[in-house]
């Protein structure tokens, strides 16, 4: 690997010191009693439109996204751009569903999606299914954030044999764990503001400076192999790349706001109006993500893939090294430090929110539901804080000792798993028509079918359905959630006939402002 | 539907506007082409990026349209 880039490293460390200070100071921001779970885990539900914009943006557009989407464009071409329709579709969903979820959660002090399902459908086993799915889908996602951090630290030339090379990442993670423990959701909310400013500066610098260096966008696209510029036109009797593109965008969009960390960031808003406004403001991040996807093509045009000085990086990190290599190639060292800090801090913000979300799920829907129903609010908060440490430690151990590829596989599987909570959570916000046991059976069928398709497709998320001689390759999450819904709809009238339904503790008025 | 029913169901016809952006970006045969290119960017890319902006504008329109209705009827 190359020598240590001291200028970049100094800027990187200085920015990390800044956000560390900010993370601890955040405990005093809009001060509340951090001994209560909704204060620690949801920031007291006090974030207005602007802070919510930074928080949700920092939460959803993760470091891994900023590394992996351009890496996919670099390696596979146009298919990577599915991230753009995906991030377009999520906002109508946010607009229509989540103000209602916010209203009912505020009214009943729900902190997790499983709290809502428990109250709405009155079935603790269904709530447990939602809880376990949420935790299982989140864990590898936290681990993946570390991959983003690992790549930029490696790219600055900080490396070493065995555990020694991982010390910077361990330090970053200990810092993360400490300020999350003390400040709760206020820490990532305040850090997200710094992170987003850095990310925007980096993205726009890259989109302006690199094309000038490379002689214009037309020249860049001319340098990309023709097969990568557009989707392959499907042959006869198959929906081909078109089907994959559409189902990936739609399935990922439906899954996104079911992730516990998405719901945590949304429920922390101060009103349903703040959420609606953000549905119109958050596309600012989508636009930037689209521009960043193009950076994958810039990296092809700049020829970093075949440059000898980056060979070791590509060998170690694969295509994920494309973005760091391009930055090293195109920017002065001090700005490389800014860009890498943006990615590194961009890993910590979602990792903090994810660990808070997973900890809240465990505390509310496993500990309080099944182990100690009499836990006081103060006990709830202290359990959640400790669980957030365990969750992060687990992710760290995972990334240090298990090949990165496993975290990637599990995160891909996580999307297929989390989407199975769609009928209970997302549709449950609009209707109580479904039978609670039918929802649980539908969840089970969807989950088993999803895992089976994932394995049958050699641990990839795209499975080819064949039907009357036609092939439909597409995202298993979408196929299996349709199966899940069909099961729920067929079983609901049958199971309703068998016996009474549990009480719904929410009423229609709870869902309105 | 009278006004009371509409408020009870939480539905507004303005929401149909949100569907436009979903349809526009989910049908690749529409936009999987190079021409017309814009400042060297193939149609495929600038078309989808443009829809990010149009989608945001449509969502803002729906927000203002439905929000004033709330203010008008619920104080």
Q: What is the pLDDT along chain B (75 residues), one digit of tens a residue?
A: 444 444 555 678 888 888 888 999 999 998 998 889 888 899 999 999 999 999 999 999 988 888 755 554 443
CB contact under 8 A, B28 and A245: yes
Between residues A41 and A481, the one the model is more confident about = A481
Model-level ipTM above the cut of 0.90: no
Q: Each residue of A144-179: pLDDT tens digit?
A: 888 888 888 888 877 655 566 678 888 888 888 898
CB contact under 8 A, B59 and A92: yes
Q: Where are the alpha helices (DSSP H) in A184-259?
A: 186-214, 217-223, 226-229, 240-256
Q: What is the largest CA-CA distance in chain B?
A: 53
Average pLDDT, integer, range A250-272: 93
**What is the radius of gyration, based on Cα positions, of chain A?**
23
Grade residue A36 by pLDDT with cuts at 50, 70 and 90. Answer: confident
Residue A411, domain extent: 6-511
pTM of the model: 0.91
The pLDDT value recorded for residue A38 is 87
**Which tokens belong to A27?**
């405990």
Across the interface, of B7, B18, B48, the residue whose CB is closest to A84 is B48
Across the interface, of A85, A241, A242, the residue whose CB is closest to B25 is A85
Distance between CA atoms of residues A202 and A195, nearest Å: 10
Measured between CA atoms, the residue of chain A closest to residue B75 is A513
CB contact under 8 A, B40 and A220: yes
Report whether A237 contacts A469 (CB < 8 A): yes
Measured between CA atoms, the residue of chain B closest to residue A291 is B49
**B27 has a chain A CB within 8 A of its CB:** yes
What's the CATH code of the domain at A180?
1.20.1730.10
Please, which residues have CB within 8 angstroms of residue B23's CB and are 6 or more apart in sequence?
Answer: none
Provide the 3-class DSSP secondary structure of residue A465.
strand
CB contact under 8 A, A231 and B28: yes
| Short-list A119, A90, A513, CA closest to B10 | A513
Across the interface, of A218, A241, A290, the residue whose CB is closest to B49 is A290
Q: Each residue of A95-135: pLDDT tens digit?
A: 989 999 999 999 999 999 999 999 999 999 999 999 999 99
Chain B residues in contact with A231 by the CB 8 A cut-off are 28, 32, 44
Between residues B9 and A500, the one the model is more confident about = A500
Task: Name residue A465's beta-bridge partners.
Answer: A472
Chain A residues in contact with B26 by the CB 8 A cut-off are 85, 89, 246, 249-250
Report whether A502 contacts A121 (CB < 8 A): yes
The pLDDT value recorded for residue A226 is 86
Average pLDDT, integer, range A232-240: 88
Distance between CA atoms of residues A451 and A457, nearest Å: 10
Average pLDDT, integer, range A79-90: 91
The pLDDT value recorded for residue A429 is 93
**B21 has a chain A CB within 8 A of its CB:** yes
Measured between CA atoms, the residue of chain A closest to residue B15 is A96
The pLDDT value recorded for residue B68 is 57
Chain B residues in contact with A221 by the CB 8 A cut-off are 37, 40-42
Distance between CA atoms of residues A457 and A480, nearest Å: 14
**Does the structure show a pLDDT above 60 at A510?**
yes
Number of domains in chain A: 1
Q: B2 to chain A, minimum CA–CA distance in Å?
A: 18
Provide the 3-class DSSP secondary structure of residue A470.
strand
Q: Which of A85, A247, A433 to mutate to test the interface with B (most CBs of B within 10 A)?
A: A85
CA distance from start to end of chain B: 21
Provide the 3-class DSSP secondary structure of residue A459.
coil
The pLDDT value recorded for residue A6 is 87
Task: Name residue A467's beta-bridge partners.
Answer: A470
**B50 has a chain A CB within 8 A of its CB:** no
Measured between CA atoms, the residue of chain A closest to residue B26 is A246
The pLDDT value recorded for residue B70 is 53
Q: Which of A230, A253, A292, A431 to mutate to test the interface with B (most CBs of B within 10 A)?
A: A230
**Which tokens belong to A172?**
């970053």
CB contact under 8 A, A286 and B52: yes
Average pLDDT, chain A: 89
Domain presence at residue A1: no
Name the residue ranges covered by the structural domains of chain B: 13-74
**Which tokens belong to A159?**
């490396």
**What is the radius of gyration, based on Cα positions, of chain B?**
17
Between residues A187 and B75, the one the model is more confident about = A187
Q: Positive or negative, the Cα torsion across A389, A392, A395, A401?
A: negative
Q: Each residue of A322-375: pLDDT tens digit?
A: 999 999 999 998 999 999 999 989 888 899 999 999 999 999 999 999 998 988
């Amino acid at each position: 690997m190359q020598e240590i880039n001291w200028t970049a490293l100094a800027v990187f460390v200085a920015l990390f010191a800044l956000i560390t200070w900010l993370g601890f100071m955040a405990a005093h921001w809009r001060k509340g009693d951090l001994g209560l779970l909704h204060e620690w885990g949801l920031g007291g539900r006090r974030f207005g439109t602007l802070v919510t914009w930074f928080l949700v943006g920092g939460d959803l557009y993760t470091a891994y996204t900023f590394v992996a989407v351009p890496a996919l464009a670099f390696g596979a071409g146009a298919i990577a751009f599915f991230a753009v329709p995906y991030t377009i579709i999520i906002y109508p969903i946010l607009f229509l569903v989540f103000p209602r979820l916010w209203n009912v959660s505020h009214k009943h002090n729900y902190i997790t999606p499983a709290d809502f399902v428990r109250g709405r459908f009155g079935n603790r086993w269904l709530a447990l299914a939602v809880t376990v799915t949420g935790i299982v889908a989140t864990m590898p996602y936290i681990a993946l954030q570390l991959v983003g951090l690992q790549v930029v630290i490696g790219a600055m030339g900080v490396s070493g044999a065995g555990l020694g090379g991982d010390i910077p990442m361990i330090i970053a993670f200990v810092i993360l764990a400490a300020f999350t423990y003390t400040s709760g959701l206020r820490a990532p909310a305040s850090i997200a503001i710094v992170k987003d400013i850095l990310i925007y500066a980096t993205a726009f610098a890259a989109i302006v400076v690199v094309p000038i260096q490379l002689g214009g966008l037309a020249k860049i696209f001319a340098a990309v192999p023709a097969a990568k510029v557009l989707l392959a036109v499907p042959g006869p009797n198959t929906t081909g790349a078109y089907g994959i593109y559409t189902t990936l965008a739609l399935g990922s969009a439906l899954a996104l706001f079911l992730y516990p960390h998405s719901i945590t960031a949304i429920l922390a808003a101060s009103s349903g109006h703040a959420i609606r406004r953000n549905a119109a403001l958050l596309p600012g991040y989508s636009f930037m993500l689209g521009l960043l996807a193009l950076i994958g093509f810039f990296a092809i045009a700049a020829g970093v893939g075949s440059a000898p000085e980056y060979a070791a990086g590509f060998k170690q990190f694969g295509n994920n090294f494309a973005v760091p290599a391009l930055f090293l190639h195109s920017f002065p060292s001090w700005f490389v430090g800014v860009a890498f800090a943006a990615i590194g801090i961009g890993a910590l913000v979602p990792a903090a929110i994810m660990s808070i979300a997973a900890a809240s799920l465990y505390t509310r829907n496993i500990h309080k539901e099944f182990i100690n129903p009499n836990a006081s609010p103060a006990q709830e908060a202290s359990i959640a804080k400790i669980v957030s440490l365990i969750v992060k430690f687990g992710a760290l151990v995972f990334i240090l000792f298990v090949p990165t590829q496993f975290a990637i596989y599990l995160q891909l599987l996580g999307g297929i798993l989390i989407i199975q909570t769609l009928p209970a959570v997302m549709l449950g916000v609009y209707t109580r028509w479904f039978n609670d046991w039918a929802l649980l059976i539908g969840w089970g069928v969807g989950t088993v079918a999803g895992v089976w398709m994932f394995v049958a497709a050699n641990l990839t998320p795209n499975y080819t359905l064949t039907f009357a001689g036609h092939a439909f390759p597409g995202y298993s999450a979408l196929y299996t959630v349709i199966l899940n819904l069909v099961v729920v709809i067929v079983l609901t009238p049958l199971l309703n006939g068998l016996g009474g339904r549990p009480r719904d503790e929410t009423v229609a008025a709870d869902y309105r402002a | 539907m009278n006004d009371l029913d509409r408020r009870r169901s939480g539905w507004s016809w303005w929401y149909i506007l949100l569907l436009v952006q979903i349809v526009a970006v989910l049908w690749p045969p529409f936009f999987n082409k190079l021409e017309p290119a814009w400042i060297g960017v193939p149609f495929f890319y600038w078309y989808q990026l443009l829809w990010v902006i149009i989608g945001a504008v449509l969502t803002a329109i729906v927000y203002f349209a439905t929000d004033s209705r709330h203010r008008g009827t619920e104080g």
